[in-house]
Each structure stands twice: as structure tokens, then as C-alpha cells.
Amino acid sequence: MIDCGEGSQIQMARFHVGYRHLDSIFISHMHGDHVLGLPGLMSTFCLLGRTADLNIIGPEGLGDFVDFINKTFCKEKTYKVNFFPVLDDCVSKPVFEDKTTEVYAIPLRHRIQCYGYLFREKANKPHIIREMTDFYGIPYYAYNSIKDGKPWTTEDGEIVPAERLTRPAEPPRAYAYISDTAPSHVVAENVVNVDLLYHEATFGKDNIKRAEETYHTTAAQAAEIATSCHVHRLIIGHFSSRYKDETPLLEEAQAIFPNTVLAEEGKTYTI
Amino acid sequence: MIDCGEGSQIQMARFHVGYRHLDSIFISHMHGDHVLGLPGLMSTFCLLGRTADLNIIGPEGLGDFVDFINKTFCKEKTYKVNFFPVLDDCVSKPVFEDKTTEVYAIPLRHRIQCYGYLFREKANKPHIIREMTDFYGIPYYAYNSIKDGKPWTTEDGEIVPAERLTRPAEPPRAYAYISDTAPSHVVAENVVNVDLLYHEATFGKDNIKRAEETYHTTAAQAAEIATSCHVHRLIIGHFSSRYKDETPLLEEAQAIFPNTVLAEEGKTYTI
């Protein structure tokens, strides 16, 4: 989960998103609309008797908040919270990783300390070609070493290179989430070629002055970043409540970067 | 406002309840479903530039929570928060009062420190009978002293008793909010004759064992309290999510105390 505004657990129920796979929560910054769903979620996890660890990643101030919630609302602890503060070297070194993914934090330009997150899938291992392994009578236990590139030696002493037994994996995917921020070259340098970029577009270019004052981005600026960084697809979101209809923002972005879509509540975007 | 669960500000918007008259928030206890809407509300007040004081009343631990919210989410303070902790003498001495109302806290029987609240309207002053004051030519500035019971002396020296110039005020109203608690004699002693009693009824009598274990009340028990205390009307609420349809709980209570209604989201109950 990336950011957790008030009512997140209510929205999850509404859209039938289960808690089972929610292992890690990334927080961009300590403004209420990005973090105030955390106490409710953490206290619900206690009530449900969650046992799996929960990883929380975010700016250093978040640690105090998490401690306070834990102390105040999760008195009967059933699970462990691991807090990972974002540090200064966050662009070059993953702030968090698991078996499949590395996550980097990108310092943004907002009124308070704020980070975007870049999710990079680790290189996938190649796929075994079952017809070939069956042909050579290769046992299952050898699959992992073949995937790692080791050749197979048959009983007759024939050496079969791994490339003949496997087909290449899909290229690893990358997703970047960038909110809240004024347009930033640090973002641009770090989201080059990502498959999917979520970038805030709080205002349209008609409100560029207000965007500058409040450290936000316009739809046109978000689209320019997407273009210059050669991202595959752009989602814009975090719209100011002054826009009752976001179509003009979408059109403004699409005029510069056609493959733009609006962030819509409850919608799933596949990478 | 009494209690402030997660999403309270969202519900207020949904039911078109404005912030303008929200001066005081009473919190029963420090469980998430009763207090986790406070950070969002307080931080929204900052964003909106609220200037009126906000009174927050609740158990002593709430003070730390309010301080933490203030420090973390209300950095640009625009209004003052006055915190009134509930003290040991809360049943006999108002924990809070304003021009029209005195509020008492009632210690409840829950898993953690928890209070109900009793709102007693102060005695209203009698109403001036305009026909009578006009008849005697009594000027406006004398109305307040007449309302306070002082007689009026005419130019001819006639003494007109205040009772002849006024009709009695409506009797002061009382409302009690009782949640979360196991059935309690302290409650019963303090809600005698109230016009409206909100009492939790988390379970039906079929789940009385579970009610006892979790320090909650059944619909039947809430109705028994209403009966023995001669309250005028009973609202039951705080239903366990296991009840998809609350009609059986209503019927269970009405069998004992007919003037019972269900607490319904968004509904207004007039006292």
C-alpha cells in the first residue's frame, strides 16, 4: 500500500480488497490525507489477531507516529511492526526489498519532507522449457541451477547449455508513485523508462501560480516529465477538489503525453 | 460531538453537517472506533483556518493524543484546543459547561477507562408575556430582571409581581450517551428521568455470554435500564457487525421498553 489516508480501511472493504497480502505500507509524507488511515488499519489488524509482520516505510517522523499508535491503540499486540525510515542515500540504495522487488525512495519538492517511491522488480529467472527437460530426462531438483544458467550434463557426458533448456524471462517491470511535489529534476532522473508512472497533477495549467505556491504540479507538467522520461504510461491524480470534472486535466496531459489516464477510485491498473 | 470514529469528517460531509457549530467534542474512551476521526478533523480545521476554540473532553490519556495530533498534523495553528480531562469527581461536578448546558461524565464498565456523558440543560428563564409588558409600558431593558423574578414598579407605585408578566419556561431537557459498557448501576443511578437515553446494545440476549466477556450490554439489558430509570425514550446502537439486520435487537428491547428506537446512520432525533 502506498499512502494511507483517513478511511483507507473503509475503502478497502468497499472495493473488496483483503488484508491478507498487505505486508508493507509506504508513506510519502506526514500530511493527514496521506497517513491518517494508519491508526485505524493498525488497530483493526490487532482486533483481527494478525500475526504476520507489518512493514512500514516512510520519513523519519513517521516512526514516532507508529510508536504512538502501537502504544495507544494496539495494546494487545498480535503482530510485529517493522519501521524502515527513509535515509539520505534513498535514491541509490533500496529503502526496502523482498524476494521479488526493490523499492527506492525519491526525495520530492513539497512543503514538508516528502518522498516518492520507485518499485523495481528484480530480474526474473528464465523459464524452463518442459519439452526440453523431459527430452533430456532432467529431474526437477536440477531446475533451479539451470535457471541460474548452469549447463546440464547428460549420462552420456553431453553438455547441454542452460540457454537451450530455457526461454528468457519477461523484462522486470518498474512503477513509480510521485505525490506530493512541485516538478522535480530528481524525479525525472529516477523514473526514466518506468512502465507506469503515477504523478500528481493537483492543478491545471490555469492554476500554475497556485501550484507553485503550494508545491504541486500541473497536469501539463506531469505530462512533460512522462514525455522526457520515456515512461510507458502515465496516471495523473491527487486533483484539487476545485475540479468537479477532471476531464480538462486529462486533456491537458494527453495533449503532451497521449498515453495518460486518470486515477479513478477503485480502479485496477495492470502493469 | 460525542465520540469521533475514523471517517467522521467524511460522514459529516455526506450528511451536510457543517463545522460551524462544532465547539466541543466528548470522547468516551481510547478505542479506535471512538477516537480515530479526531486527527483528520483537527487537521482539516487547520487547513480551513478555523479560529474558534475547540474544546475536547475525555479520559486523561486523550490529552497525549491531542497533543501529538497538534504537534504532528496541525503545524500551522489557527485555533486553540482546550482539553478537559475527566476527573474522579465527574459524576457530581460538571466536566464541562457553557451558557446553556452542564455536562457530567459517568464512569462505565468497559475493558479500559470509559465514560458516558450526561447533558443537562440549565434551567431556562421564563418567557416575557409581551401583552402584559406592553400593557404596563415596561421598557426592554427591564426584561432580564423580570425574567430573573424581580417585580416591576409602575409610575403609580403599583408593584407587579414577575409571575404576572411571564409564563414558565419549558422544563430543562436531559440526554445521556452511554457506550461502551457492561450494564452498570452507576449508569442507572445517573440517568433517572432523562428525556433521551442512548445506550449501547452491542449484542442480543442470545449472545449474553459474549456480551459479558467483552464488557458490552444486550438489547434487553439496555431496555431494563431504560425501564427502571423511567427515561422517556431509548435509542439503542453500537451493534455488533454480526447483526446484518438489527430488527431482532429492536424487538428484544421494545418487548421490555416500548419507546425504543434504533440508532440509524444520518438520522436526526429531536429531544
Are B167 and B129 contacting, i.e. CB atoms less than 8 angstroms apart?
yes
- CB-based burial of residue A40 (10 Å sphere; 0-12 exposed, 13-18 middle, 19+ buried)? buried
Within 10 A of B106 (CB to CB), how many other CB atoms are there?
23
- Between chains, do A43 and B36 touch, taking CB under 8 Å as contact? yes
Structure pTM? 0.83
Residue B196: pLDDT over 90? yes
CA proximity to B250, closest of B218, B225, B227, B228: B218
Residue B233: pLDDT over 90? yes
Q: What residues in A contact B73, CB-CB < 8 Å? A: 30-32, 36
Q: Which residue of A has its CA nearest to B67?
A: A68
Q: How, if at all, do strands B174-178 and B152-153 pair?
A: unpaired
- Between chains, do A39 and B36 touch, taking CB under 8 Å as contact? yes
pLDDT digits (tens, 9 = 90+) for B154-179: 999 999 999 999 999 999 999 999 99
Angle at which helices A247-254 and A219-228 pack, to 10 degrees? 30
Mean pLDDT across chain A: 95
Are A266 and A239 contacting, i.e. CB atoms less than 8 angstroms apart?
no
- The predicted structure's pLDDT at residue B229: 97
- For chain A positions 91-120, those within 8 Å of chain B (CB to CB) are 112
- Between chains, do A73 and B36 touch, taking CB under 8 Å as contact? yes
Percent residues over pLDDT 70 in chain B? 100
- Known catalytic membership, residue A33: yes
- The predicted structure's pLDDT at residue A89: 82
Are B227 and B253 contacting, i.e. CB atoms less than 8 angstroms apart?
no
Separation between Cα atoms, residue A131 and residue A20, nearest integer Å = 36
DSSP state of A199: E
Are B21 and B9 contacting, i.e. CB atoms less than 8 angstroms apart?
no
Q: Write the CA distances from B194 to B117, B171, B177, integer angstroms.
A: 12, 12, 11
Chosen for mutation from B8, B9, B36 (greatest number of chain A CBs closer than 10 Å) is: B36
Q: How, if at all, do strands A152-153 and A101-107 pair?
A: unpaired
Residue B77: pLDDT over 90? no
Q: How, if at all, do strands A152-153 and A159-160 pair?
A: antiparallel
- The predicted structure's pLDDT at residue B56: 98
- Closest partner CB to A72 (pick from B10, B65, B72): B65
Sequence-distant (6+) residues with CB within 8 A of A188 are A225, A228, A229
Max CA pair span of chain A: 75
- The predicted structure's pLDDT at residue B245: 95
- CB-based burial of residue A205 (10 Å sphere; 0-12 exposed, 13-18 middle, 19+ buried)? middle
Give the helix ranges, DSSP H, for A111-234: 130-135, 143-147, 162-165, 185-190, 208-213, 219-228
What cell numbers appear for A161 in the block?
A: 547449455
Give the helix ranges, DSSP H, for B48-94: 61-73
- The predicted structure's pLDDT at residue A17: 93
Separation between Cα atoms, residue B226 and residue B110, nearest integer Å = 19
- Closest partner CB to A40 (pick from B9, B36, B75): B36
- The predicted structure's pLDDT at residue B95: 96
Separation between Cα atoms, residue B227 and residue B62, nearest integer Å = 33
**Residues A114, A120, A121, A125, CA torsion sign:** negative
Percent residues over pLDDT 90 in chain B? 92
Any idea how long chain A is?
271
Q: How many CB pairs under 8 A join A and B?
A: 54
- Closest partner CB to A72 (pick from B30, B37, B40): B30
- The predicted structure's pLDDT at residue B91: 87
- The predicted structure's pLDDT at residue B79: 95
- Closest partner CB to B10 (pick from A7, A30, A64): A7
- Among residues B3, B23, B33, B156, the one annotated as catalytic is B33
Please, which residues bridge with residue B123 across strands?
A: none
Separation between Cα atoms, residue B95 and residue B117, nearest integer Å = 9
Q: Which residues of chain A have pLDDT under 50?
A: none
